[in-house]
Chains A and B, each alone.
Chain A
């Protein structure tokens, strides 16, 4: 049974009603990990915000977001707040700014428990320290008494992961959870996320621009491009035999390490055949903004 079922979700913003998501449909099964890959501006973060109900006021939304059968898109703030943090939680990209700078992190984590159920202070503190311990925050008792600025980026992201898992949610949305971290720290944080998700049995929507990360974390992957899901399949299928030219391009550009040093790096345009272009010579599937990136003439390498 699917824990999340997004049906024909469209989102646009402001007076001009710029369409950011265009009839996106996406389902995540219980305990499943789905990777969502796309470039910046593809709409992946908007999708995450839409599911969490954290879109800004000027967003217009249509379609359904079914979470365990409840349409989140039609919930009021009060009812939605009872689900957020309890059954549905999120890990954000930027650990440096995602925590309240004026409050000790232990207290911020304890709020998650006291907000959603009655719990005595002792039990709450034990639970916080237990989860902090699990995500690899050694000396959890000390960390709970620290302010965010006293922790490193990796530690803060662990705190945020601990908070996301605190109430044993059914679905965790991770939006570029390690992009802001250094490579070595990134590996450790991913390991923690991986094992804790497995231990809790929570489903996960893992959003990233990095195919390598998604391949490591997820058994299934969806590719989002210009507000549409262009491809979905098992990670193995998509990585080994991508069907959509955009996916092929994305795969090739992401693997610099597979190009011999000094050789020309492949670019996305290489994967579009002339058939994919419209009369004006543009790629029909690429939004105009994206095409203009390369100007009227193609860059050619002289070598």
Chain B
């Protein structure tokens, strides 16, 4: 199998998983409630009213047809229309995409940048003060829910110090960079704090593994000092496990972004999702849910490709 073939195979798996996920989402939202129209109108509604609504939304047609329509629509970027307001779901999603996107896109690299050096120190100095402090701090940080971290940041920097805004969003396009940045600092910081504490634990464990490896001993025997050898020969080997964690964490990072949007009242995808659940706007829930799952799968697909860049053994397995 060629390298290209391996990519193609992974891409096929990615699309297949997305397809199955879309079925799961559709079934939970459309088939589980029993009757969507009844659920929307509440138990007190008259049968006639329910029936009228069913006709209006096309719910009287078979599930399979409705699923097919939904799927085909999504392929064209059309997520259907809200049952409640009649608004196009895609139209609601578009303006909110940027906010959630920024949160995730900023916090992944930033938390990695914070975690790698701290993890290195924690691994190398684990019998000494600094390592123990980093280790202990990451333990505590791991236990803090992201919305609590956000709340504390608001209390300190907005309520007490009054330096930064506690809520609302300023678009990069319309309000300019500095205003945008002032509004993004605290949300991104709360995500990075929690995320990097988790990464530190994995980076530390990865480096400690390297310390016990034969090739690290070889590196030391040819004249690398403890620290330099670990950076030179450990970093790339540790990166494999780091990438795995990053892939596994994309889902929880998206969840974190949704929670952070709630704390800072940012009008992102998460806010849209939660609002539509509370209003039982099923079509919107379904659409946003699918988009999030697709994002998780896409990031995991990219992570899969990253392995090939890092680990030459994989490249050969594929070629052989």
Contact = CB atoms under 8 A, between A and B. Distances in A.
A and B touch in the complex (CB under 8 A): yes
Interface of A: 52, 54, 57, 77-78, 81-86, 89-90, 92, 94, 97-103, 111-112, 115-116, 147, 149-150, 160, 163
B241 to A, nearest CB: 13
B226 A77 contact: yes
B318 to A, nearest CB: 13
B308 to A, nearest CB: 12
Contacts of A84: 220-223
Contact of B223 (A98, A100, A115): A115
Interface in B98-135: 127
Nearest to A82: B223
Closest 8 CB pairs of A and B: A85-B223, A85-B222, A97-B214, A102-B236, A100-B215, A147-B312, A98-B214, A81-B225
Interface string B211-253: 0011101111111111000001100110000000000000000
Contact of B225 (A77, A94, A112, A116): A77
Contacts of A99: 215, 218
Contacts of A83: 223
Nearest to A95: B214
B220 A54 contact: yes
Contacts of B313: 101, 147, 149
A103 B223 contact: no
18 contacts: A54-B220, A54-B221, A81-B224, A83-B223, A84-B221, A89-B221, A97-B215, A98-B215, A99-B218, A100-B219, A100-B233, A101-B215, A102-B236, A102-B312, A103-B233, A115-B222, A147-B316, A163-B222
Interface residues of B, number: 23
Given A116-B223, A147-B316, A102 B311 contact: yes
B312 A101 contact: yes
A160 B218 contact: yes
A147 B310 CA distance: 13
A94 B214 contact: yes
Nearest to A147: B312
Contacts of B215: 97-101
Contacts of B224: 81, 111, 115
A85 B223 CA distance: 5
Given A52-B221, A89-B221, A111-B222, A97 B316 contact: no
| Most chain B CB inside 10 Å of its own CB: which residue of A90, A94, A100, A115 | A100
A111 B231 CA distance: 14
Contacts of A94: 214
Given A92-B217, A111-B222, 5 more contacts: A54-B217, A78-B225, A84-B220, A103-B233, A147-B312
A83 B224 CA distance: 10
B223 A86 contact: yes
Contacts of A82: 223
Interface in B165-201: none
A112 B223 contact: yes
Nearest to A115: B223
Interface in B295-320: 310-313, 316
A98 B237 contact: no
Nearest to A149: B313
Given A99-B215, A101-B237, A102-B310, A57 B127 contact: yes
| Most chain B CB inside 10 Å of its own CB: which residue of A57, A86, A97, A98 | A98
Contacts of B233: 100, 103
Nearest to A86: B223
A150 B222 contact: no
Nearest to B220: A54
A92 B312 contact: no
Nearest to B317: A149
A31 B222 CA distance: 20
A231 to B, nearest CB: 29
Contact of A92 (B127, B218, B226, B311): B218
Nearest to B228: A81
Contact of A149 (B214, B218, B223, B316): B316
